[in-house]
């Protein structure tokens, strides 16, 4: 009984983290750690807080926009919660955004401030396109741009701190990360296609259908496998090998969710395990 109660407590805690996008924040920090370890740079300690605040601000803004589009009639639980608590979330969101900008200006160097402003502009542009696409009823490939901005936002500072031009190995790692984040986003849209249709959201799976989505997911997997093979061929040292091994585990996890959708649809395991995949880069802290 005690074990069951403990398991339920852990499930409820993680679901709470998911609803507030805090699991995504942890994933972003894990990838940030992966980036600084791979590029052998030492970031300003305040960058970690700026990264966490920025990621949470962008994702929460996106979820609030989704929730407001359906108001109280949303089917997806996260959107229901965001609509129900929209006022306190807007207050916390505003504080988070102001704090991120203030910390960036006060504690990070000028190059990073400019890079941060560019990233922030792209994030605002993205949110504007999402909002405008809903108003004008045209399709905007949300999942791709989320993956692109997510990876750029995390890797930009470590890349700027890097003393030399990025190697082929580094570029392949970054491209692979973009593809995996994109894959996970489309995978979620496939699992939630019926809910998205009900809520009026134009996800990848809603626009292209389940069959085409399944084919495209396999193409993404195959592309990432090819990149993974290329990475193993240009691996030069133990650190590189560990990085590629972590990416291989991440890809294998995405493959498992993609191939066995029936199991992962139960209790929305696809969300839990899908996001936990992006905690895996944090392993480099312990084995790198």
Residue 224 predicted with pLDDT over 70: yes
The pLDDT of 45-49, averaged and rounded, is 94
Residue 48 predicted with pLDDT over 60: yes
Enumerate the domain spans of the chain: 2-287
The pLDDT of residue 217 = 95
pLDDT-based confidence at 138, cuts 50/70/90? low
- Cβ neighbors of 237 (< 8 A, separation 6 or more) are none
pLDDT-based confidence at 63, cuts 50/70/90? confident
Structure tokens at 180: 């995996």
pTM: 0.88
For all residues of the chain together, what is the average pLDDT? 86
Which percentage of the chain shows pLDDT scores above 70?
Answer: 90
Q: What is residue 13's three-state secondary structure?
A: helix
The pLDDT of 42-59, averaged and rounded, is 93
- Tens of pLDDT, residues 237-288: 888 899 999 999 999 999 999 999 989 988 788 988 999 999 999 998 777 6
Contact of 145 with 200, CB cutoff 8 Å: no
Among 104-108, 143-147, 168-172, which range has the highest average pLDDT?
Answer: 168-172
- Higher confidence at residue 44 or residue 68? 44
The pLDDT of residue 19 = 86
Contact of 134 with 69, CB cutoff 8 Å: yes
Euclidean distance between CA atoms 83 and 63, whole angstroms: 9
Helices (H) and strands (E) in the chain, counts: 14, 0
The pLDDT of residue 112 = 77
Instruction: Give the CA distances from residue 171 to residues 86, 134, 191, 229, in Å, rounded to whole numbers and listed in that order.
Output: 39, 34, 31, 14
Which percentage of the chain shows pLDDT scores above 90?
Answer: 49
pLDDT-based confidence at 73, cuts 50/70/90? low
Euclidean distance between CA atoms 105 and 124, whole angstroms: 18
Element (H, E) at 238: helix 238-259
The pLDDT of residue 175 = 97
- Which of 1.10.20, 1.20.58, 1.10.3470, 1.10.600 would CATH assign to domain 2-287? 1.10.600
The pLDDT of 112-128, averaged and rounded, is 77
The CB density around residue 153, as the number of other CB atoms within 10 Å, is 22
DSSP 71-89: GGG--SHHHHHHHHTHHHH
The CB density around residue 196, as the number of other CB atoms within 10 Å, is 22
| Cα torsion 142, 184, 20, 116: sign | negative
Residue 183 predicted with pLDDT over 90: yes
Instruction: Give the CA distances from residue 275 to residues 94, 95, 121, 131, 166, in Å, rounded to whole numbers and listed in that order.
Output: 25, 26, 26, 25, 28
The pLDDT of residue 238 = 86
The pLDDT of residue 163 = 78
- Tens of pLDDT, residues 149-172: 899 989 999 998 897 899 999 999
- What is the crossing angle of helices 22-39 and 2-19, to 10°? 80
CA neighbours closer than 13 Å in the CB half-sphere of residue 38: 30
Structure tokens at 261: 């959708």
pLDDT-based confidence at 146, cuts 50/70/90? confident
């Amino acid at each position: 009984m005690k074990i069951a109660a403990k398991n339920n407590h852990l499930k409820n805690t993680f679901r709470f983290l998911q609803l507030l996008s805090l699991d995504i924040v942890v994933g972003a920090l894990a990838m940030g750690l992966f980036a600084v370890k791979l590029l052998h740079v030492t970031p300003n300690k305040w960058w970690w807080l700026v990264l966490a605040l920025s990621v949470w601000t962008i994702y929460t803004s996106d979820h609030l926009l989704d929730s407001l589009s359906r108001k109280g009639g949303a089917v997806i639980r996260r959107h229901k919660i965001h609509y129900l608590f929209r006022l306190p979330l807007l207050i916390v969101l505003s504080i988070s955004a102001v704090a991120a900008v203030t910390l960036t200006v006060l504690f990070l160097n000028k190059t990073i401030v400019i890079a941060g402003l560019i990233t922030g502009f792209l994030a605002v542009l993205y949110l504007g396109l999402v909002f405008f696409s809903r108003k004008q009823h045209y399709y905007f490939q949300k999942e791709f741009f989320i993956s692109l901005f997510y990876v750029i936002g995390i890797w930009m500072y470590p890349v700027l701190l890097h003393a030399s031009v990025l190697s082929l190995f580094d570029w392949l790692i970054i491209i692979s990360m973009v593809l995996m984040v994109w894959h996970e986003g489309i995978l979620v849209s496939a699992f939630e296609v019926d809910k998205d249709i009900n809520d009026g959201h134009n996800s990848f799976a809603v626009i292209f259908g389940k069959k085409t989505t399944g084919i495209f997911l396999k193409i993404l997997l195959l592309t990432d496998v090819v990149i993974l093979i290329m990475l193993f061929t240009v691996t030069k040292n133990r650190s590189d090998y560990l990085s590629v091994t972590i990416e291989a585990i991440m890809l294998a996890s995405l493959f498992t969710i993609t191939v066995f959708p029936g199991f992962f649809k139960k209790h929305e395991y696809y969300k839990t395990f899908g996001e936990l995949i992006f905690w895996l880069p944090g392993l480099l802290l312990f084995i790198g």
